[in-house]
């Protein structure tokens, strides 16, 4: 695992690479990475009682609750790295464009260690911009190159891209896209632009993405339980949670020698074993006695012209028990505080359209903005949006 001598880039990640390499070799304790408010990288060491082969402790995103500290082992990370290389048809150099404290960022470093290449760290001191991404991509020297992005980032890159940005994107042998569902329109745009995009599904509990374009990686098993929940099994499954063993007992289990992780997502498998993720199990909204899929409503809203992204949830309602509420990102929308239908005339027209097309399951409260609030790892901040929608609906 040669970490190389290439220019370090805007952030010195040598301490993280060296600590992870030592842990992978069994010569150091497990590593937890974090970032200070000034952007500096902090490399922490963590005791993992009962798990001697732990390499990294990664916090879940916390998008729906308190983050959990997930323990990733040598075996799990090695299995994930090998399976990723097989799916991408090679190892190469990675561009790090995601926060290093989350599993997608940690995996860029780990895959680089296994490949013997140095990742280049994108300068995000000014936020994620196409210009900064393009500048970082130009610094890559390997002929085989990869990166991991979330849909919001790819959307920004493909929104009126410059020729330089398009050229940089087309140079990647693979762009992993995960962290949130990718709108069909975004995937079509990426395909039309000639990009090699792989949609990924997974979590910190599975060393990141372990299902690419609906199909499990080598050594990964996928099942759907009777209650519709997706089960992920195989060598990439984490050892458990460091600080919540009681939750781990309900989440991880072994069966016939295979370790499984019980997700909070609902899904289906087709005859070819391709997985379709339908949404979170807790995304079912019961409004007026009718069960509504938040993911279905979200997908319908995102089909409307001018809707960049949407988040749908249920909010307490005196009349309905729960009411369907939506936070939508509209092109050209300005920040508006407290209005019943923020976002101006466009939002009002869209609400009328949705009531015609969706009927009873149309959102009863809509908050429009220029973008969805995001967590540092690029996932939608579900808790923040739910709080704002609750305040806007006022329990009616």
DSSP assignment of 331-375: TTPPP--S-SSTT-HHHHHHHHHHHHHHGGGS-SEEEEESS--B-
- Element holding 118 (H helix, E strand): none
340-362 residue pLDDT tens: 344 457 778 888 899 999 988 99
Q: How confident is the model at residue 142, as a pLDDT?
A: 95
Q: Distance between CA 74 and CA 18 in Å, rounded?
A: 15
Specify if 5 maps to a domain: no
- Share of residues in the chain with pLDDT > 70 (%): 91
Report d(CA 131, CA 157) in Å as an integer: 9
Residues 261 and 145 in one domain: yes
Both 181 and 306 in a single domain?
Answer: no
Residue 333 has pLDDT above 80, yes or no: no
> What is the reported pLDDT for 2?
43
Answer left, alpha or beta for residue 67, where phi above 0 means left and psi between -120 and 50 means alpha: beta
Give how many domains the chain has, as a whole number: 2
Collapsing DSSP to helix, strand or coil, 284 comes out as strand
Give the chain's mean pLDDT.
88
Q: Which of 146, 215, 154 is nearest to 179 (CA)?
A: 154
**Same domain? 252 vs 300:** no
150 and 224 both lie in a single domain: yes
Q: How far is CA 220 from CA 42, 261, 262, 341, in A?
A: 32, 11, 14, 45
User: Under a CB-based contact definition with an 8 Å cutoff, are residues 330 and 345 in contact?
Assistant: no
DSSP alpha helix (H) spans, the chain: 14-24, 74-88, 103-115, 130-138, 151-158, 163-170, 184-192, 245-251, 294-301, 345-358, 382-393
Is the pLDDT at 337 greater than 50? The verdict is: no
Domain for residue 4, yes or no? Answer: no
Q: What is the predicted pLDDT for the residue at 295?
A: 87
Check whether residue 142 and residue 56 sit in a common domain: yes
Domain with 348 in it: what CATH number? Answer: 3.30.300.30
Q: In this structure, is residue 1 part of a structural domain?
A: no
pLDDT band of 20, cuts 50, 70, 90: very high
Give the domain extent around 381.
Answer: 288-393
Q: What is the DSSP letter of 108?
A: H
- The span from the CA of 230 to the CA of 236, in Å, is 15
Classify 250 as helix, strand or coil: helix
Q: With bands split at pLDDT 50, 70 and 90, how would you rate the model's confidence at 319?
A: confident
> Which contiguous run of DSSP H or E holds residue 214?
none
């Amino acid at each position: 695992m040669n970490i190389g001598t290439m220019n370090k880039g805007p952030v010195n990640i040598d301490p993280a690479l060296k600590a992870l390499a030592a842990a992978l070799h069994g010569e150091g304790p497990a590593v937890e990475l974090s970032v200070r408010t000034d952007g500096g990288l902090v490399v922490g060491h963590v005791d993992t009682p009962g798990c001697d082969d732990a390499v990294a402790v990664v916090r879940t995103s916390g998008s729906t609750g308190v983050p959990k500290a997930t323990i990733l082992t040598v075996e799990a990370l090695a299995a994930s790295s090998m399976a990723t290389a097989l799916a991408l048809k090679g190892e190469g150099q990675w561009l790090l464009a995601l926060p290093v404290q989350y599993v997608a960022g940690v995996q860029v470093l780990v895959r680089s260690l296994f490949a013997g290449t140095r990742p280049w760290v994108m300068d995000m001191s000014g936020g994620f911009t196409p210009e900064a991404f393009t500048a970082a991509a130009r610094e890559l020297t390997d002929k085989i190159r990869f990166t991991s992005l979330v849909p919001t980032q790819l959307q920004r890159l493909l929104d009126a891209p410059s020729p330089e940005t398009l050229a940089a994107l087309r140079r990647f042998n693979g762009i992993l896209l995960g962290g949130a569902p990718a709108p069909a329109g975004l995937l079509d745009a990426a395909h039309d632009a000639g990009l090699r995009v792989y949609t990924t599904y997974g979590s910190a509990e599975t060393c990141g993405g372990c299902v690419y374009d609906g199909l499990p990686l080598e050594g990964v098993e996928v099942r759907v339980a009777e209650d519709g929940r997706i089960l992920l099994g195989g060598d990439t499954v984490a050892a458990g949670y460091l600080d919540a063993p009681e939750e781990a007992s309900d989440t991880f289990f072994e069966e016939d020698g295979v370790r499984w992780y019980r997700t909070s997502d609902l899904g289906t498998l087709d005859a070819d074993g391709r997985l379709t993720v339908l949404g979170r199990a807790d995304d079912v909204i019961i409004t007026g006695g009718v069960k509504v899929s938040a993911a279905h409503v979200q997908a319908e809203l995102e089909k409307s012209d001018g809707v960049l992204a949407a988040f749908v949830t249920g909010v307490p309602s005196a009349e309905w028990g729960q009411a369907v509420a939506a936070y939508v990102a509209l092109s050209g929308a300005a920040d508006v505080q407290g209005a019943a239908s923020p976002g101006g005339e466009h939002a009002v027209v869209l609400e009328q359209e949705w009531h015609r097309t969706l009927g009873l399951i149309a959102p009863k409260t809509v908050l429009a903005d220029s973008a969805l609030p995001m967590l540092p790892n690029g996932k939608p901040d579900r808790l923040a949006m739910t709080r704002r929608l609750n305040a806007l609906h006022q329990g009616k």
